[in-house]
């Protein structure tokens, strides 16, 4: 787990790099025409003993913001929402970032994130003192274990630069509660957990309720990597259930965790976020065992690739190449010239392209999981048939 003294400069460097080197944009296609955007909103809560005596002038750059005394002694937090419970909503009651689908009237993806944030939590990112920090890797959101594409999701990062906490006004039909969570807690392994849910409908989309019920009994529930959130402050809608139960079970998992991991992956020590990641599996012991055996090699290879292509590794690669170019430029060496026998200089723009670490970790994973599930169920059927046959033969001999 990072300390606050380590987090602030690391976050400043990471967000500055993100701002200067935008992630590749995934364009819409005829198969995936829909787009959506979310906003990762960061603020610093000042320590009571370091409150600024006057309202500071908003800095216009990330480094200047993190250099302020009240920021240096403050707590960096991120905004999460818990979506309202709505029947038929794929993400009902899920922890998420503010955001939603892009409308035809939106000029671009970032405008969709700004509009949705205003609608859902009443935070105007165009009028607030903010610094846009660019966007994390786009991703194609899929269902049915990666077989059906739904939309392209575009995550954008913003910093609120005012020491005064913004007032949130929740849209009760969309948001049940909103929570400011210290980023330090998100890096703490003690807050890592799993989320269990029923995924029988993903395996039997056309099989009807009987097949789904049978699969539910056979497979148990599916476990996904998750982080327990411990907010420093929360706002609840009086029209939602969270107002009554205090917002228990505030867990970040799934798509939201994947986006969050891309940001945490940029913070040192590089690779820690990936080492804490857990691949999805099942609660049924035999299914868990077969899935683990069949995916062990894939997980090992994907982890190695993810670390080499991670957000943090990309940032270090750019810094190393830029440093090399600067050093060699001082001695009059041109880009692309061969140095010695095998070292070839490259331009900084040619290295360090960002990619989603979680996307790389899950590459090909669910395809193997489907095979493992059906193999396990087939094995159960064979064993069950053999045992039943043996019992029948034994009964007939009596």
The CATH number linked to 91 is: 3.90.79.10
- Identify whether the C-beta of residue 168 lies closer than 8 Å to the C-beta of residue 77: no
341 lies in some domain: no
Please state the rounded mean pLDDT for residues 315-319.
71
How many domains does one find in the chain? 1
pLDDT, mean over the chain: 83
Between 201 and 43, the higher pLDDT residue: 43
pLDDT band, residue 342 (cuts 50/70/90):
very low
If you ran DSSP here, which 8-state letter would residue 167 be given?
P
Q: Which helix (H) or strand (E) holds 326?
A: helix 311-330
Question: Is 320 a domain residue?
Answer: no
- Out of 134-148, 193-207, 316-330, 331-345, the most confident range is 134-148
- Residue 324, in any domain of the structure: no
**Is residue 348 in a domain?**
no
Residue 315 included in any domain = no
Domain that holds residue 167: 4-310+355-397
Which residue from 76, 92, 74, 65 is spatially nearest to 40, judged by alpha carbons? 76
**Residues shown for the chain:** 398
Q: Assign 52 a pLDDT band (cuts: 50, 70, 90).
A: confident
Where is average pLDDT lowest: 130-139, 322-331, 339-348?
339-348
**345 is a domain residue:** no
Give the pLDDT band of residue 354 (cuts 50, 70, 90).
low
More reliable by pLDDT, 142 or 295: 295
CA-to-CA dists, residue 52 to 45, 69, 74, 286, angstroms? 12, 8, 11, 59
**3-state SS class at 21:** coil
Whether the pLDDT of residue 340 is over 50: the answer is no
Q: Is the pLDDT of residue 198 over 70?
A: yes
Say what the pLDDT of residue 343 is: 30
Instruction: Report CA-CA distances (Å) from 162 to 17, 46, 175, 244, 249.
Output: 22, 10, 24, 31, 30
Q: Does the pLDDT at position 272 exceed 70? A: no
Q: How does pLDDT run across 223-235, given as a tens digit for each residue? A: 999 999 999 999 9
- 158, part of any domain: yes
Measured distance CA(325)–CA(87) in Å, rounded: 56
Range with top average pLDDT, 294-298, 372-376, 377-381: 294-298
| 254 lies in some domain | yes
Q: How confident is the model over 375-394, as pLDDT tens digits?
A: 998 888 888 888 888 888 88
User: At CA 96, angle to CA 246 and CA 125, rounded to 5?
Assistant: 105
CA dihedral 79, 280, 359, 22 (to 10 degrees): 10
pLDDT in tens, 124-135: 999 888 999 999
The runs of H, that is alpha helices, within 21-84 are 62-66, 69-72
Dist. CA 343–CA 333, nearest whole Å: 13
Which of 19-33, 166-180, 321-335, 381-395 comes out lowest in average pLDDT? 321-335
pLDDT over 60 at 248, yes or no: no
The candidate with the shortest Cα–Cα distance to 275, out of 288, 290, 265, is 265
């Amino acid at each position: 787990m990072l300390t606050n003294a380590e987090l602030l400069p690391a976050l400043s460097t990471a967000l500055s790099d993100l701002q200067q080197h935008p992630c590749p944009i995934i364009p819409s296609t005829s198969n995936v025409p829909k787009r959506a955007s979310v906003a990762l909103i960061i603020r610093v809560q000042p320590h009571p003993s370091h409150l600024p005596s006057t309202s500071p002038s908003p800095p216009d750059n990330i480094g200047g913001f993190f250099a302020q005394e009240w920021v240096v002694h403050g707590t960096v937090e991120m905004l999460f929402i818990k979506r309202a419970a709505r029947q038929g909503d794929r993400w009902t009651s899920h922890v998420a970032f503010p955001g939603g689908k892009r409308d035809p009237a939106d000029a671009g993806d970032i405008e969709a994130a700004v509009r949705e944030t205003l609608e859902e939590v009443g935070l105007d990112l165009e009028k607030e003192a903010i610094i846009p920090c660019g966007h994390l890797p786009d991703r194609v959101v899929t269902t049915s274990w990666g077989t059906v594409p739904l939309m392209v999701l575009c995550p954008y990062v913003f910093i609120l630069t005012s020491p005064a906490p913004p007032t949130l006004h929740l849209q009760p039909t969309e948001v049940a509660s909103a929570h400011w969570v210290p980023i330090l807690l998100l890096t703490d392994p003690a807050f890592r957990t799993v989320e269990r849910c029923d995924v029988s409908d993903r395996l039997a989309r056309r099989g009807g309720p009987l097949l789904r019920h049978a699969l539910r009994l056979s497979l148990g529930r599916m476990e996904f990597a998750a982080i327990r959130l411990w907010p420093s402050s929360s706002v609840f809608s009086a029209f939602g259930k969270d107002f009554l139960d205090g917002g228990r079970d505030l867990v970040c998992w799934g798509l939201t965790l994947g986006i969050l991991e891309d940001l945490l992956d940029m913070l040192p020590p590089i690779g820690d976020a990936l080492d804490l990641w857990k691949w999805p599996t099942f609660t049924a012991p035999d299914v868990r065992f077969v899935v683990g055996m069949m995916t062990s090699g894939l997980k090992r290879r994907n982890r190695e690739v993810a670390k080499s292509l991670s957000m943090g590794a990309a940032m270090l690669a750019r810094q190393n190449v830029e440093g090399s170019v600067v050093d060699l430029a001082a001695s009059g060496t041109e880009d692309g010239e061969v140095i010695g026998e095998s070292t070839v200089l490259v331009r900084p723009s040619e290295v360090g392209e960002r990619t989603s670490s979680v996307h790389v970790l899950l590459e090909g994973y669910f395809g193997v999981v489907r095979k493992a599930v059906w193999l396990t169920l087939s094995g159960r059927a064979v064993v069950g048939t053999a045992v039943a046959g043996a019992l029948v033969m034994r009964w007939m001999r009596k």
